[in-house]
Structure 1
Amino acid sequence: MAAESAAAPARALAAPARAAKPVHEPAQERSRATHRRLLDAAVECLAEFGWSGSTIAVVAQRAGVSRGAAQHHFPTREDMYTAAIRHVAESRIADLRESVRRLPKGASRTEALVELLVDLYAGPSFQAALHLWVQASTDERLRERVVPLEEHVGWVAHQAALDALGADDDEPGVREIVQATLDLARGLGLAGLLTDDTRRRKHVVRTWARMVEASLDRPTDPGQAELRGT
């Protein structure tokens, strides 16, 4: 009986430590969910309203949280939007790597690659990034955050193109061809912002793919190539 009495306080003291964990984990999960909703809402608002119309209050309302909660996660707009673009960039990179692995073999491979790179610079995420670029062009602090992110996305896209083509960056003209393809993709992305440019874009993609093949002077099926570093 005395042993049971002595054990009871020990169990009572131990109980709160075990009970604290399930209370703590949902709070972390809610915080992560709020963080993700704010990032998604920031991209949506930036694409729809531009920089000037995408205040923290607007993003918070879109995300369904209070302004105070939004500022707890992101004290400034610069913090919010650089995090949002990083979030989008990581998603774009993951999608690009997976899509390159699924590229067809044979004569259609180069055209499929060019179309894939063009699609990288299209849609709401590209529109959001574009608004951020414009703001960063006159905001030095923001530019310092944005430039490294976009350089990383461009580098990954460049490597993906090289591997999909089975090309070597050290070969004469290869670097320029790949870079020109990415520049073309950005330009087509800009052209599609105001009007539906789908039909002309398909023609441009097809024509450019033939030019890439001719410039590389190689068969259209470069074989199975995987992304470097994966």
Structure 2
Amino acid sequence: MGGVNTVERERVPKQDRSRATRQRLLQAAVACLADHGWAGSTVLVVAERAGVSRGAAQHHFPTREDLFTAAVEYVAEERSTALRALFPHGAADRRAVVAALVDLYTGPLFRAALHLWVAASNEEQLRPRVTELEARVGRETHRIAVDLLRADERRPGVRETVQGLLDMARGLGLANLLTDDAARRERVVAQWAALLEETLG
């Protein structure tokens, strides 16, 4: 009986350590991609940043493509959870929702995802994985936006208006990569909030 308990005690910390290592690698991969782009982000660079050996990194993620697509997916999921947590009882203020959605496209994750998209446009082995990942993340973001905006997509033009909001938010994110676009972004957010009130009722 005592032997079983010892095995259990040893196994759980090992699983916890493995999970923690994986999480550190994913977070380091996103940070590397955001800071150095695809060309400067290798498995070795990520492993060093995460404080683990290259062998440990390759145990969790056998290829570079595995690591970076998993990293962007992981942070996208974290971001979706955080977005929903901002409005746990639904959103009373659509402007606050628009601002939160726009903020999704102005941080390190967006920069990392952008580098991944650019790399995928040139790397044949990466393109199908990134295309599929982007479609999945896009659907989830759209679903969250519809929920938080209390949008009824059965009404004409509503789906396109929500999609237009997300496309606009992505465009603002691109503009923000080169200059601090906060002042213009605030005016655009206000305009889109007014447009949504008019369209969604």
Tell me the TM-score normalized by structure 2: 0.92
Aligned to 2:74: 87
Bigger mean CA deviation after superposition, 193-202 or 16-25: 16-25
Question: Of 15, 33, 37, which aligns to 1:50?
Answer: 37
Q: Quote the Cα distance in structure 2 between the aligned partners of 1:111 and 1:16.
A: 59
Contact 2:91 2:97 in 1 (8 A): no
Q: Does 1:63 align with 2:59?
A: no
Query: Matched residues in 1 for 2:146 and 2:33: separation?
Result: 32
Residue number in structure 2 paired with 1:36: 23
The answer (yes or no) to whether the contact 2:91–2:148 under 8 Å persists in 1 is no
Please give the TM-score of this superposition, normalised by the length of structure 1. 0.81
Q: CA deviation at 1:168?
A: 1.6
Aligned to 1:163: 147
State the Cα deviation string for residues 107-162 of structure 1 (Å, max 9, x = none): xx221121111011120111111111111122233222222322222222222232
**What percentage of residue pairs aligned between the two structures are identical?**
57
> Hey, what does 1:136 align to over in structure 2?
120
Task: Indicate the structure (1 or 2) with the bigger Cα radius of gyration.
Answer: 1
**Equivalent residue in structure 2 for 1:98, among 85, 89, 93:** 85
Structure 2 residue 24 is matched with structure 1 residue 24: no
Aligned residues: 201
Question: Residues 157-188 of structure 1, C-alpha deviation per residue, up to 9 Å, x if partnerless?
Answer: 22223233332212111111111000000000
Matches of 1:160 and 1:15 in 2, distance apart? 49
Structure 1, unpaired ranges of 5+: 1-13, 219-230
Take 2:67 and 2:110, find their aligned partners in 1: how far apart are those partners? 17
Task: State the shift of 1:88 in Å.
Answer: 0.7
* Amino acid paired to 1:78: E
Residues of 2 paired with 1:99 and 1:17: CA distance?
43
Residues 26 and 67 of structure 2 are in contact (CA less than 8 Å); yes or no, is this contact kept in structure 1?
A: yes
Is contact 1:133–1:146 with CA below 8 Å preserved after alignment?
yes
Alpha-carbon distance in 1 for matches of 2:27, 2:42: 14
Alignment RMSD (CA, Å): 1.7
**Corresponding residue SS for 2:178:** coil
Q: 1:132 to 1:18 in 2, by over 3 A?
A: same
List runs of 5+ in structure 2 lacking aligned partners. none
- Could you say if the C-alpha distance between residues 62 and 96 of structure 1 is closer, same or farther in structure 2, counting changes exceeding 3 Å? same
Q: What letter corresponds to residue 179 of structure 1 in structure 2? A: Q
Contact kept in structure 2, 1:44 and 1:128, CA below 8 Å: yes
Indicate yes or no: 2:41 matched with 1:75.
no
Judge which range, 25-34 or 57-66, deviates more: 25-34
Partner of 1:148: 132
CA distance in structure 1 between the aligned counterparts of 2:141 and 2:5, rounded to whole angstroms: 48
Shift of 1:93: 1.4
The aligned amino acid for 1:63 is A
